[in-house]
Amino acid sequence: MPAKRKPLSNKQEKILVQAQLMGLTPADMQQIGNRLIAIQKEQAEIREIDLTVAGYRWEKVVDNTSKDDQVWWKIYHPDGYLIEASNIKIKERGYYSNTYYADLRITKPGTRYQLRRKKEQQIRVEHDWKKRLMPEQNKILYGIIRWAKYNSAWDDF
């Protein structure tokens, strides 16, 4: 005896009838279902990225004095901190992620906050992250913002 299937809602039944009238095959409907699942996953990724970068501002700085035009970032933390990430270099390539190292300067303009410097701070960049969804379409910038958000114990430098 075949297993009972969960009944479709009226809306789903109407869509199924329309699909059959249009001549769609079960393979076509499966492809549409897979695309809907992919869209839902992408929307979840966009929400996660938006939550991470909420309140942050950034500025791209290009150093034209060197031969290779180094790019570094000024990132403005929601609490008023200014994080300057420079000398960004890749050191480790992995199967799931790459590890970059950056020199960080952390200040809080307009306060007595002491300048903090961190040489070769590890910044992790996942291969799963879609570049087109990232702020400024830059995975390294997103990695630095994630570091600033989730590793904000900066007094132990």
Please state, as a whole number, how many other Cβ atoms lie within 10 Å of the Cβ of residue 122: 14
Amino acid, res. 106: I
Please state, as a whole number, how many other Cβ atoms lie within 10 Å of the Cβ of residue 103: 16
Tell me how far CA of residue 33 lies from CA of 84, 98, 101, 130, in angstroms.
44, 33, 41, 22
The answer to whether the pTM exceeds 0.85 is no
Distance, CA of 28 to CA of 26 (rounded, Å):
5
N-term to C-term CA, the chain: 68
Residues 40-99 pLDDT 10s: 999 999 999 999 899 999 988 887 776 666 778 899 988 888 888 888 888 888 888 889
Distance, CA of 1 to CA of 149 (rounded, Å):
56
Q: Are 113 and 105 in contact (CB under 8 A)?
A: no
- Give the phi and the psi of residue 50 in degrees, each rounded to 5: -60, -40
Residues 5-45 pLDDT 10s: 888 899 989 988 898 899 988 899 899 999 999 999 999 99
Distance, CA of 18 to CA of 50 (rounded, Å):
37
List strand residue ranges (DSSP E) for 14-144, in order. 57-63, 70-76, 82-93, 97-107, 116-126
Distance, CA of 145 to CA of 49 (rounded, Å):
10
